[in-house]
């Protein structure tokens, strides 16, 4: 998920996965590694150079994967675990945070395509009484507005101690939160604007979307994402966890100081209910690639639903991180320096930064994850943007 905490990296007010299954990915050396055909060494060197730049902006470990006409390239730098010094490797798992939102939006749109719900349905229709009080009115908010962040609902993570401080994290990292509890935190606050009259990133929207999936199907959002996306695509390293706080297998450990004047602590373990349908998932660069290739390649949604997902509005709140960005239904649309745009969904939570980019046809895809807080200015964000833009433009 994207969080208020990580806005210093994003330079925004945000709070906060999937190809190549079965590949044996190369181990990284202490300063990183690249695997590519001999004829593509120059492009591989460029990718490694970008990854090294991201590392130098204050991150701990960085992994990246780029797929396009020249094949697939991997690069990594830094360490997966500060305690052991183990190098980051291209196949390591990581928390994808708000990149989860694209999965959840995909499932909602599949249900729309099946006629089981409508984007024009209200929140009140599916979840009577859940969004009410302090000027909040679920009968005035459509499902489309949840997915597009035009509902006006307050972002619960802006009033959530677990993401706000070291003490808050240590006290609540193993706490199980219900979606209703997270929504209740949000509805203690009035809305930011009348539904449809503005744009503001709110994790509350996707918590509600997950609740609607369960109401419409009788299954949790995790079960539906697994059955409809993870299993059909063979994403063997992608998880939609429920309450288990740890990652199993080789993974990148996350570190954060929570913007406090103190050394970062290990924040890898966290009960995923704190993020829920807004950002709980775990994946790898390879699996995220496969997911975005399938999605933009029209293998997960019917044409009408994919067109709805790609119908975007301006999201000026995100301009400091992505100038000119637009937002659809669980997808960001970002200008390319070489002309045109690419689709994406960033993800931030304490200790983890996920960035990605995919061409409109899904044939060119870049996925990056960095651990640690990154720089206090915007240099980490700029370095990640530059990596993605360069890979998609060359």
pLDDT digits (tens, 9 = 90+) for 198-251: 999 999 999 999 999 999 999 999 999 999 999 999 999 999 999 999 999 999
Measured CA to CA in angstroms, residue 100 lies from 46, 61, 260, 291, 298 at distances of: 29, 21, 27, 11, 19
13 vs 80: CA distance, rounded Å: 28
The token pair that represents 369 in the structure block: 């994850």
Measured CA to CA in angstroms, residue 116 lies from 112, 213, 341 at distances of 6, 10, 32
Single out the residue of 232, 230, 210 nearest to residue 220, CA to CA: 210
> Residue 2 has what pLDDT?
62
pTM listed for this prediction: 0.92
- The domains located in the chain, with CATH, are 2-393 (3.40.710.10)
Task: Compute and round to an integer the Cα radius of gyration of the chain.
Answer: 19
Residue from 44, 76, 98, 344 carrying the catalytic annotation: 98
What is the DSSP secondary-structure string of 198-214?
-----HHHHHHHHHHHH
Residue 216 dihedral angles phi and psi, to the nearest 5°: -75, -30
Compute the residue count for the chain. Answer: 394
How far is Cα 25 from Cα 35, in angstroms, rounded to an integer? Answer: 9
What pLDDT tens digit does each residue of the chain (394 aa) get?
A: 765 333 343 333 333 322 222 222 333 333 344 444 444 677 789 999 999 999 999 999 999 999 998 899 999 999 999 999 999 999 999 999 999 999 999 999 999 999 999 999 999 999 999 999 999 999 999 999 999 999 999 999 999 989 999 999 999 999 999 999 999 999 999 999 999 999 999 999 999 999 999 999 999 999 999 999 999 999 999 999 999 999 999 999 999 999 999 999 999 999 999 999 999 999 999 999 999 999 999 999 999 999 999 999 999 999 999 999 999 999 999 999 999 999 999 999 999 999 999 999 999 999 999 999 999 889 999 999 999 999 999 9
Query: Could you report the per-residue pLDDT of 251-299, keeping only the tens digit for each?
Result: 999 999 999 999 999 999 999 999 999 999 999 999 999 999 999 999 9
Residue 253 in tokens = 């450990």
> Distances in Å between the alpha carbon of 107 and those of 132, 256, 293, 304?
26, 32, 16, 14
Which secondary-structure segment (H or E) carries 65? strand 61-68
Residue 98 catalytic? yes
CA–CA dist 289, 311 (Å, integer): 22
Percent of the chain topping pLDDT 70: 90
Query: Helix, strand, coil: what percent of the chain each, to 5?
Result: 35, 20, 45
- What torsion, rounded to 10 degrees, do the Cα atoms 78, 284, 358, 101 define? -120
Asked whether 17 and 356 are in contact (CB, 8 A), the reply is no
Give the sign of the dihedral formed by CA 132, CA 326, CA 380, CA 102: positive
Close Cβ partners of 194 (under 8 Å, ≥ 6 residues apart):
140, 152
């Amino acid at each position: 998920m994207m969080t208020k905490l990580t806005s210093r990296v994003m330079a925004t007010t945000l709070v906060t996965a999937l190809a190549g299954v079965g590949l044996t990915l190369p181990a990284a050396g202490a300063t990183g590694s690249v695997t590519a055909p001999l004829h593509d060494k120059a492009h591989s060197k460029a990718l490694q150079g970008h990854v090294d730049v991201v590392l130098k902006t204050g991150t701990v470990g960085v992994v990246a994967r780029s797929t396009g006409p020249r094949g697939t390239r991997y690069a990594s730098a830094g360490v997966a675990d500060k305690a052991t010094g183990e190098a980051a490797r291209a196949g390591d798992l990581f928390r994808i945070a708000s990149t989860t939102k694209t999965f959840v939006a995909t499932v909602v749109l599949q249900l729309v395509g099946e006629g089981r719900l409508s984007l024009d349905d209200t929140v009140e229709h599916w979840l009577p009484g859940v969004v009410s009080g302090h000027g909040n009115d679920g009968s005035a908010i459509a499902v489309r507005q949840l997915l597009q962040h035009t509902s006006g609902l307050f972002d619960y993570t802006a009033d959530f101690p677990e993401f706000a401080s070291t003490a808050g994290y240590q006290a609540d990292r193993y706490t199980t939160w219900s979606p209703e509890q997270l929504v209740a935190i949000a509805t203690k606050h009035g809305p930011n604007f009348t539904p449809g009259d503005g744009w503001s990133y709110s994790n509350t929207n996707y918590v509600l979307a997950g609740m609607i999936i369960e109401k419409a199907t009788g299954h949790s959002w995790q079960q539906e994402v697994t059955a409809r996306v993870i299993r059909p695509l063979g994403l063997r390293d992608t998880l939609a966890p429920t309450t288990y706080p740890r990652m199993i297998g080789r993974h990148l450990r996350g570190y954060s100081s929570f913007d406090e004047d103190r050394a970062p602590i290990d924040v890898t373990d966290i009960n995923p209910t704190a993020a829920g349908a807004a950002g709980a998932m775990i994946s790898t660069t390879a699996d995220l690639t496969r997911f975005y290739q399938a999605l933009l390649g029209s293998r997960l949604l019917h044409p009408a639903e994919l067109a709805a997902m790609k119908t975007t509005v301006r999201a000026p709140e995100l301009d400091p991180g992505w100038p000119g960005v637009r937002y659809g239904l669980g997808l960001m649309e970002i200008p390319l320096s070489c002309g045109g745009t690419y689709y994406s969904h960033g993800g931030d939570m304490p200790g983890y930064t996920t960035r990605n980019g995919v061409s409109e046809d899904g044939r060119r895809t870049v996925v990056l994850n960095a651990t640690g807080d990154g720089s206090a200015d915007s240099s980490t964000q700029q370095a990640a943007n530059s990596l993605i833009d360069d890979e998609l433009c060359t």
